[in-house]
Each structure stands twice: as C-alpha cells, then as structure tokens.
Structure 1
Amino acid sequence: MARRPASWDDEVFALRLARSGPDLWPMLQALYGHRADYAKFCDRLKTLLRKSWKARPADLKRLDLKRDLEPDWFQRPDRAGYVFYIDRFAGTLQDIPEKLDYIEDLGATYLHLMPCLMPRPGDSDGGYSIMDYRAVNPAFGTMEDLEEVATALRERGMNLCIDLVLNHTAKEHAWAQAARAGDPKYQDYYLMFDTDELPKRFEETLVEIFPEHAPGSFTHDPETGKWVWTTFYDHQWDLNWANPEVFLEITDVMLNLANKGVDVLRLDAVAFMWKRLGTRCQSEPEVHMLLQALRACSRIAAPAVIHLEEAIVAPAEMLPYLGRGRHDGKEGNLAYHNSLMVQFWNALATRDTRMMAHVLATHFPPVLTNATYATYLRCHDDIGWAITDEDAGALHISGAAHRSYLSDFYEGSFPGSFARGAVFQYNPETNDKRITGSFASLAGLEAATDPAATEAALHRILMGHALMASFGGIPLVYMGDELALLNDYGYRDDPAHAHDSRWLNRPRMDWAQAATRHSADTPAARCFRGVKHILARRAATPELHGGVPTEILHPAVAGLFAFARRAPAGTLVCLFNFTDSWSHLDAGWLQAQGVRLFHDALADAAVPIYDGNVALAPQGRLWLR
C-alpha cells in the first residue's frame, strides 16, 4: 500500500513533482545520466526542491495555487512592463514604493528591476558581473528591502522581475575564489585549462562578443596559471554546466529568489551555457535541456514564477527558447522578440515594410504554447542588426550593405537621417557596427529643429509603442521612453562609464518632467499621455491576449505594416503607417481580413470611410474591429 503524504504541503509537492517530473528527469538523464553519481544527484535535487517548497511563505503558496488555476495570467492584455535601473529611477530599493503611483499611473503592471544582485566592485558590466547571488547590491539596499518591494507590488497586482545571470559569475564570487585557491571541486564549476592549446581550438569557431574592449574568449589567470573561459569580459568566468553541481547550485539560488517574492526570473546570457568544440558555443541543444529542466524545477517548488530567457539571436535560434519540438510549451514562458525590434527600426529608416512583413511572417508561428513574447523597441543595451543575408536577399538587396546603411542611419551620419545615436562595438573584420541611443533620439526628437519634425518624432515613438502593445506578448517600456528622454552624453565625463557608449541610453529619470506629465504641452508630457493611453486601451482590448494568434497581412500599399489578431470573438486588424505621407487602404480589403465595425480600439472611436478607403496619417496607427 502506498504511503500517504504526511501533510497537505507534502501532498501538493508530490502532485507537482508528478506533474513536472516528466519534463525534468529526461532532460537531466540526457545531460548527466552517464555519470556514476547520477542517482545521488537526483536524490539531492529532490531534497532541494522539497526543502525550497517547505520554506516558501504561505502567501506565495497561495499565489502558486492561483496561477495554477490561471496559467495564462502573464498572457493577459493587462500585463505591461516597465524596465529600469534602480539607482537611476528611484535611488534605492526603499525609494521604489513611493514611485509606484507613477508606474501605476502609466499603466505598467510588471516591473523589471535591472541587475540588483551584488556585483563585483569596479567595472561590473553594468551590474551583470555577480559576486553573490544571495545578496543585493549594497548601494541599493538589502535582500529584506527587495522582499518589501515584492510585497508592495503584489498588493497592487504588479509583478517583480529580476535578473539571474546563468552563463557566468564574477571572478570575485566565492566559487571562483575557491577555484583560484586550488580547490578542485570549485575549479570544476568553471572551464579552466592548463594550457592554451584547447582554448585556441575552441576560438577557431567562436564569435567575439566585445571585440573592441574584451577580445577573445579566454583569459589567463596568473593566480592559478590556468586559462579560464570568459565569453564576455575577463572578470566574468563562464560556469561549467556539464557539472551537475552547477545545476544544483543555480537551482538553489533560483528558488531562493522565488521565495523572496520574485515573479519573473530573467535568465541572462542563456545562449552561451553549453560548450562544444567546433561550434559557436551558442544555442547548443543542451542549453534547451537545461532551461526546460530549470523551468520544471520552478513549476515543482515555486509554480507562480515564470522564466524570461534572454537570447538576442536570429529568429531561427530565438524560437526554441520559447519551446519548439520536444520542448514545446515546456521551456521559457517569455523571450525577447528581438526581430520585432530590429524590423521596427529597419522599417522606420527605409519607410519600407516589406522585409518586416517577410521576416515576421516566415520565421515566427502565429501563436506559442504556454509562452509569449516580451516585446520591446529599446532597452539598456545596443541594437545589433540581426538581418540575415537570406532575408535581405529575398528582397534582392545586399545584407552586408543594408546592415551598414542602418548603422550609418542611426548613428546620424547618413544624409537625411533624423536619428542621433552612437556606434557600439565596431568590428572591422566583419564591418559590424551595433548602435546605441535612446528611443526619442533615434526616432528624431533630438535632431528636430521645427514643430513639424518634433511632431513626426513623437508619432514615431507612439507608433512604436502601439506596435509593441498589440503584436502579442508583454510590451516592455524602457525607463524614460514614456517621457521621450534624449541621449545622455554626460556618461563621457564619468570614468566608470566613458568606455561604454551604451550609457548614452541609460539616463537618470527626469522627475521634473514627470511632475508636469498631465498638464504640460511639452514633448515629454505629450509622450507620457500617449503611452498611458496606449497601455490603457491595450488592457481594455481582449483580442490582444498573448494566446490569440497573430497573422501577418500583406496590404497592397507601400510602407504599411499590418497584422490580424484572430480572437474567437472576432478579428482585430492592426495597421501602422511607416511613411511620412498619408496612406489609403481599401475598405473592402479590410473587410476581407475580418474588419466588421470599422471601430478603432486604440482611439476607441469610429473610423470614417472616404471613397471606399480608410486613411492613415503619417506614422498613423489603427486597431480595427
């Protein structure tokens, strides 16, 4: 006779282990089953999961149950994100609760606090070089302060997202320090080599991430005399995920953060987690096994938590992070829609939406299983022109020449460009030039010298927000974009930031501008009111649920981008005019796509038909029922 669980908690744990075990154990068997200690590893993992569940606070266990009953909670149109650096937005963690009225006023319900765990001193890659996963950056506060922020957000129906870096730790992390002291256990937590023979063989096929500031992928450590794998910077030591001890350690860290009240774990730099000689060591099959196993662990011990997987890669590589093939519905709940971002800026520069429609129609499915996109157009990072030669070739243009054009356009050096940005990481061997800059500056507001140019820039910004709010997924507003903040050139005077042009688009929050957001007629105030309206209308539009299919349409009008959200109760057709002139679209064509009422859900107003056509202003946008 089967032994009955000792308590309700034990029974719930057993049920969830049984539910998610089939997603967990086959992955771990494939990764680690060849090892003599595999059975012991599995026992230790079950003990860790049970311990984490028992330690989970009662209110979070109630949230687990609620989200088990409402598994689509993160796909609903009332979810909208706001992303910020703690110090540049509020000051410290203790200062965040008093800023929540502003965020609630905007309409955001999901807050991503950019890297808040304890980084190494000095250069820390903007906080992503972590030396302690269990402590908060002391400049921001304490772990108790983070828990209080999480509680304040839950009381308002908001979600907390924080970063968890999976590919590497800082070389000052306790594990790395033990490795440097000669402890073989911890040396096996990293990828360390006695000579540079094997690193040189790996580097034959690796791609340099920061060729200007951190060339190569290996660093010689004088304390050990060994070569250490350092994909990004010499102070970031890559973890050895082929070692099951690393899996146990990170699972423990992950569930500890979950029990502090984190709703969304943004898993950073996941593409690089598994290494294989003769490859780029990016997006290897084992990466997806690891990520599915980590998600299964969350579903067992903290099922209210979802995973956002940060993989800024080409479409064919990105989709598996949301679960494809045998991982369908079992891997990431969210992944950044990098292609939507790239294609927005591409279409804005060219006033041509053909490549945008081609890429989004041919590379992405209409709907995802138990997952959705994190849609964004700007963030703390640079823009890499992820446009393949094949996609450019489909339009009979040169991929290399087009990528170069986009870099020149958004740097502001191309004749007639409205943009003001800066190059980040130029690679002379490939002529690859990534671009950085704020949304407003790239959209033309900084360069605007007359009211018409200012108006056009504002409409580009608002069109972008209307696009990411309607395409499908959780739209992420990057701090300051709602106020049309411009590039911050002051970073050049800060020795800690001057080497990294990405600080151009990491300005401090302008609370003086924010204070006049409801009354002023400034670009900042008008932009805020526009973004606020977009998010409010999104929340009121059920067709924008993340589980509703998105079908790319192909109107016979140059410069228009269109897609249909095929909801059970009816279709919503979303239209965006990327040109600088009025466009007219045949009403009969719109009816054939499913438009019935000619009601704009974005403006919440009827749309007139003139001579059988619907008119869109320059940078106009419509959500048509």
Structure 2
Amino acid sequence: MINNKVQLITYADRITGQGIDELSNLLNGPLKDVFAGVHLLPFYNPIDGSDAGFDPIDHSEVDSRLGSWQDIQALGANYDLMADLIVNHVSAQSYQFKDVLAKGKESEFWDLFLTKDDVFPNGMSETEQKAIYRPRPGSCFTPIKCGDGNTYDFWTTFTDNQIDINVKSLAGIEYLNNVLTKFSENNVNIIRLDAAGYAIKQAGTNCFMLDETFAYLDKLSAQANDLGMETIAEIHSHYQTQVEVAKRVNMVYDFALPPLILHSLFSNNADALVDWLAISPRNCLTVLDTHDGIGIIDAGPMGEKPGLLDAEQIDNLVETIHEKSKGQSRLATGAAASNVDLYQVNCTYYNALGADDFDYLLARAIQFFAPGIPQVYYGGLFACENDMDLLANTNVGRDINRPYLSAADIDKALAKPVVNGLIKLIKLRNEHPAFNGEFNVKGEGTSCCLNWHKDESSIELKVNFASREVLIIDQHDNEQVLISLADFIA
C-alpha cells in the first residue's frame, strides 16, 4: 500500500552530482522525514542518451555510474519507490536493434520491434497516416536500411533513436516481463507506465488510447499487481481520457491540475479549478512540475471535445508564462531549442509564476490540498530558476528545467525562505490526519475552499485569488488553529 504522503521526483545524478547512494544520504540527512517516497527517474543504461534515460539501451541494467540494483534495493527498503516501465520503445543503440540492423528479418530480435507493415500489411493510405496521433511534428516512421539489403519503415513515435516495441509479439511480451520481474525483485513497488497510451497501434485509428489500449493497460496492471507492485499510467490527453484511464489502473496523474492552478493565479478566477476538483480522479498522483514541460493539452480542448479551459484561455495561459518568465520559456518551447513537444511549455514552475515566493507556495498549497498523493520535482523542491546555461549548452528545450545541482547548490537552496516554507507545507500534508479522510471543494469567481475531514479532524484551505488572502484552518484534538499562508515564508 502506497503511503499517502508527499513523494520526491528526481534523477539520481542531477540532484547530487553523484549517484543512488548519495541520493539516499540526502534523503536521510538534510531531507530526513520530508518524503515518504521517491520517483527515481530512469537509472538505466545509459542515463545520458538522447532522451535523458528514456531511451534505454538496456532497460534491465542500472547505469554503473549511478550504482547497482543493490543500491536500488536499499533505497526501496526505506521509501516507496517508483520506476519507469518504458512500455513503448527501446533505444536504437540497444544490442537487440543492432542485431536487427545487421541481419534484418533474419535477426532473432526482429519481432521485438514494430514496423509499418506490422500494422498496415496491405499498405497505408494518406488518410490513414494523417489520422495517426503523434505528439511531435513529422512522420512516426523512420526508414532504415538493414544488413539484408532491405529498407524497413520502423515505427518511431518519439524520435528515430527510440524504436517502438511490438508489445503484441512474444518477444515484446518477454522483454517487458523481464523488466517487471527485475523491478519486483529489487524493492520497486510502483511502476510508472511511460508513454503507455501509444503502445497499441491499429490500422484505421489514431493509434492512441484505443479500446485495445485500455485492455492492454488492464492486463499490464494485473501483472504488476501479481508481483506486488502498483501501476500509474503516464498519459497526456484530454481530461475525460484521464477520468476513464483512472478506472483501469491503480493510479493516474492529475496533469490538468498544473495549468489550472496557473490559470487561477493569472486570472484571479477559481471556476475552472473548482469544476475540475469536483470530478477529478481520486486515485491519482498530483504534480506541478516534472522532468518534462508544463502540460497544456490536459486542460484544453481536443478536436470537438471542449476542455476545462477554452482555446483563448489556453493561449492566454501560455503567453502569460512566457511573460512571467521574461521570455525564457519561449526560448525552450515550441520549435525553439530543438523542442519536439507540441503540448508542453518548458519552464520551471517557479519561473512560470514570475519567481514570486508567495504565489509559488500558494500553488503548492492547492496541490497538497487537492485529491491524490502529491509529488514534488527536485527542481521545484529547491525553487530552481530556469537553467539558461544548460539550455544553451545542450539546445534541448526540457533541459531548462533539468538542472545539475551540487551539494553546495542544495545547501544554498535550503537556506531560502520559500524552500523552508515549502518543506513546512510538505510536513503539514504528511502529518495531518484529515488528509486520510473525505475531500470537498466549493467556490466560484475569486474564491475557493478545499476541505478535508476525518472523524473529529478537519483542515481547510481558503483562497481569495483577488486579494491573495490565504488561510489554513486546522481543526484537530479539539483545537482550531488559523494559519496564514504568508506565515510560511515570514
């Protein structure tokens, strides 16, 4: 059973400059009793591929620069530990795909990878190709010539270095089963199903979140549950899709929450946020920032489906982020900085709020009072600003929010009032008994109230966006305490 307490999202190498042991020392030292769980971002070989570990050469091997499976075991012995099952693809540098490159269809690993012919054996029409949903510009096929002299169109949903797995083939099933087993043997108790919405492709569809995909997620979740692990689906899509996915897996992400909180803070209007919190999945993880950008599609319209925000509100939201970040996010978003994500704005959440300490803590307070288990990204924990030097060095848009922090950087951050205030909020969320009870939300216009109650205990967040008057009303042990959010950074 996952602890209903705040978790940390982090890379092992970017938070300490070292590895898994050093991360454990940080969690057991300066961050002792702050986090109950850790989402350890890809630690597979290699951590420094073209997609920061999400393009594994060997998904079942820990990059030796970070440590070993024994280090993973030790971390998981003390914390809920989440790892990524990269369902959709494998690196083009993997030994399996190199064998395919050398031998073509004669390779023993041929069936591991998905080609256009696997889905469209009778050819693909232009209409069918246009119907395929891809989160990045261009074709989802990469023609590659193999050693047998033939050129094959391999399915590459994300980049040409990430070759899609044929998850229906015996080879694909065995590959993912091997990784699941490795996780279960090493104290990983939460599986994040990365890019799972793209795993099933079918001719004549958009090849994203099909009925068959839901069935696949059911089966994959059951497998993980049988091994003692819970699953969370990582899917950026229309909000109604998240509601449906939540019924099929143990947990989903509330990706609509980050843009809705920004919208409320920018517009001083809580209506969209209140509407969403009234219907949002309760079996979710909440985030404001992650290793990816700030998702926009999750709150907006999709095709004929209206969103939680309309197109004009989404445009205003994106432009306000660019303005608040003094144009820095614009340099890492859209077509800038080799960026390929069509549905995200690359920016730290702190800079998206103009580096305003109070607004940042207010955003975190709303996150912690929303339904779900909160996760805090390491850059957000330390209120990091956009890393423009790293962005300039790599020309990778998402690196604006993926800083490398030394021990000295962390010590400096821990002295900042906003970071201390955030840690106090985290401990309040971890310790108050009412957060294990029932949730209610009400409000309209400039104000909203988020309330939790369990037995004789309750806690409420009252927000007036127009005046920025924010109170926490804490009731337990027959005592009521009023706390101003401003006191957290006094």
TM-score of the two chains, using structure 1 as the length reference: 0.68
Change beyond 3 A, Cα 1:354–1:419: farther
Taking the aligned partners of 1:267 and 1:389, their CA distance within structure 2 comes to: 24
Measure how far apart 1:516 and its partner are.
5.2
* Residue deviations 1:465-493 (CA, integer Å, cap 9, x gap): 22222212221111132221111001234
What does 1:372-387 correspond to in 2, within 5 Å? 372-386=283-297, 387=299
CA gap 1:393/1:186 in 2 versus in 1, 3 angstroms: closer
- Provide closer, same or farther for how the CA distance between residues 102 and 502 of structure 1 changes in structure 2, counting only shifts above 3 A: farther
Separation in structure 2 between the aligned mates of residue 514 and residue 388 of structure 1, nearest angstrom: 36
Q: After alignment, is 125-134 or 226-235 more displaced?
A: 125-134
**Structure 2 counterpart of 1:421, from 329, 334, 337:** 329
**Equivalent residue number for residue 17 of structure 1:** none
Give the structure 1 partner of residue 377 of structure 2.
478
- Which residue of the other structure, out of 86, 110, 120, is the alignment partner of 1:165? 86
The answer to whether structure 1 residue 307 and structure 2 residue 231 are counterparts is yes
Instruction: Write the letter of the residue equivalent to 1:468.
Output: Q
Are 2:394 and 1:468 equivalent residues in the alignment? no
C-alpha change, 1:394 and 1:137, in structure 2 (3 Å) is closer
Task: Report how far residue 393 of structure 1 moved.
Answer: 10
Which of 331, 349, 364 is equivalent to 1:439?
349
> 1:364 — aligned with what?
280
CA distance in 2, matches of 1:554, 1:541: 23
Q: 1:360 to 1:435 in 2, by over 3 A?
A: same
Q: Does 1:316 align with 2:240?
A: yes
- Structure 2 CA distance for partners of 1:526 and 1:231, relative to 1, 3 Å: same
Is 1:107 aligned to residue 18 of structure 2? no
Aligned to 2:256, what secondary structure does the other structure show?
A: helix
Query: Out of 402, 405, 409, which is 1:506 matched to?
Result: 402
Q: Do the aligned partners of 1:171 and 1:236 also contact (CA within 8 Å) in 2?
A: yes
Task: Please show how residues 389-408 of structure 1 align to structure 2 within 5 Å.
Answer: 389=301, 399-408=310-319
Cα distance between partner residues in 2 of 1:315 and 1:133: 30
1:231-262 per-residue CA deviation (whole Å, 9 max, x = no partner) reads 10011111122224422331222111210221
Deviation string, structure 1 residues 346-382 (Cα, Å, up to 9, x no partner) = 1122121111122332x425x4xxxx21111011111
In the alignment, is residue 539 of structure 1 matched against residue 435 of structure 2? no
Deviation of residue 283 (structure 1)?
1.1
Give the Cα separation in 2 of the matches to 1:460 and 1:583: 10
Aligned to 2:136: 210
Amino acid at match of 1:564: N
Q: In the alignment, which residue of structure 1 is the partner of 2:223?
A: 297
Offset of 1:139 from its aligned partner? Answer: 3.3
- Given the alignment, which residue of 225, 239, 248 partners 2:165? 239
1:148 aligns to 2:74 (yes or no): no
- Deviations 1:521-555, CA, capped at 9 Å, x for gaps: xxxx212211221121112212212xx44333125
Structure 1 portions without partners, runs of 5+: 1-72, 446-456, 585-594, 609-615
* Match of residue 460 from structure 2: 573
- Counterparts of 1:617 and 1:360, CA distance in 2: 21
Distance 1:404 1:491, change over 3 A: same
Q: Note the C-alpha offset of 1:151.
A: 1.5
TM-score by length of 2: 0.86
**How far off its partner does 1:559 sit?**
1.9
Q: Tell whether 2:45 aligns with 1:118.
A: yes
Cα–Cα, structure 1 residues 506 and 460, in superposed 2: closer, same or farther, change >3 Å?
Answer: same
> Percent identity between the aligned chains?
19
Query: What is the correspondence of 1:43-122 to structure 2 with a 5 Å cutoff?
Result: 73-74=1-2, 76-77=3-4, 79-90=5-16, 91-102=18-29, 104-105=31-32, 107-119=34-46
Question: What's the Cα RMSD here?
Answer: 3.4
Q: Which residue of 2 aligns with 1:55?
A: none
C-alpha change, 1:176 and 1:432, in structure 2 (3 Å) is: closer
Q: What is the Cα deviation at residue 391 of structure 1?
A: 12
SS in 1 for 2:124: helix
Which of structures 1 and 2 has the bigger CA Rg? 1
CA spacing shift, 1:469–1:421, aligned 2, 3 Å: same
The aligned amino acid for 1:321 is V
Query: Contact between 1:270 and 1:309, CA under 8 Å: does it hold in 2?
Result: yes
Of 176, 182, 191, which residue of structure 1 is paired with 2:114?
Answer: 191
Tell me the distance in 2 between the aligned counterparts of 1:307 and 1:527.
Answer: 33
Please tell me whether the aligned partners of residues 420 and 437 of structure 1 are also in contact (alpha carbons under 8 angstroms).
Answer: yes
Does structure 2 conserve the Cα–Cα contact (< 8 Å) formed by 1:561 and 1:576?
yes
Separation (CA, whole Å) in 1 of partners of 2:123 and 2:165 = 20
Q: For the residues of structure 2 that align with 1:219 and 1:199, how far apart are their CA atoms?
A: 17
Distance in 1 between the 2:125 and 2:188 partners?
Answer: 38
